[in-house]
Amino acid sequence: MKSTVLVTGAAGYIGGQTMLALQDKGFRVIGVDFRPLPPHLKSAADICVQEDFADRYALDLISTYQPQAIIHCAGTSLVGPSITNPELYFRNNFVKTKTMLDYLVKNRIRTRVIFSSSAAVYGEPQTTPCTEEDATMPVSPYGESKLMIEMMLRSYAA
């Protein structure tokens, strides 16, 4: 039986490329995105669901299919607009991720969560290329929301 991986943000570039790579490696792929998958990605998902990843139907897929991993690529991702509309970024990125994690905990679902963060968590790096050991100093609500998720994931994992 194939191992199952659920990809959030499946219609985006990173989520789509992740699904293609997983398919090439022989995984059963569940793609979740509120946007429709582009035609070139439809065959990359064994199951394709057009829903927000934090909506009940999408969350219930996790219970139904018990994926070995969730690769979390969903989120709102532009630095500039996050400054003029921070609420959208904190809601779409942090709050919805918390909803998903709370669902996993409440339903005692043991799965790996692999998070697609952003270099925006580092702000203006002191040196380039930056590494994961560098100080995090985001300069936008987008970067802050991604860093908040990283911190939350560490807490939930503990």
User: How many Å apart are CA 100 and CA 149, to the nearest integer?
Assistant: 12
Q: How far is CA 64 from the centre of its chain?
A: 19
Residue whose C-alpha is closest to residue 47's, from 62, 55, 56? 62
User: How many alpha carbons fall within 13 Å on the CB side of residue 3?
Assistant: 10
Q: Which of 62, 76, 64 is nearest to 34 (CA)?
A: 76
Active site residues: 142
d(CA 89, CA 145): 7
Mention every residue, 6+ apart, whose C-beta is less than 8 A from residue 13. Answer: none
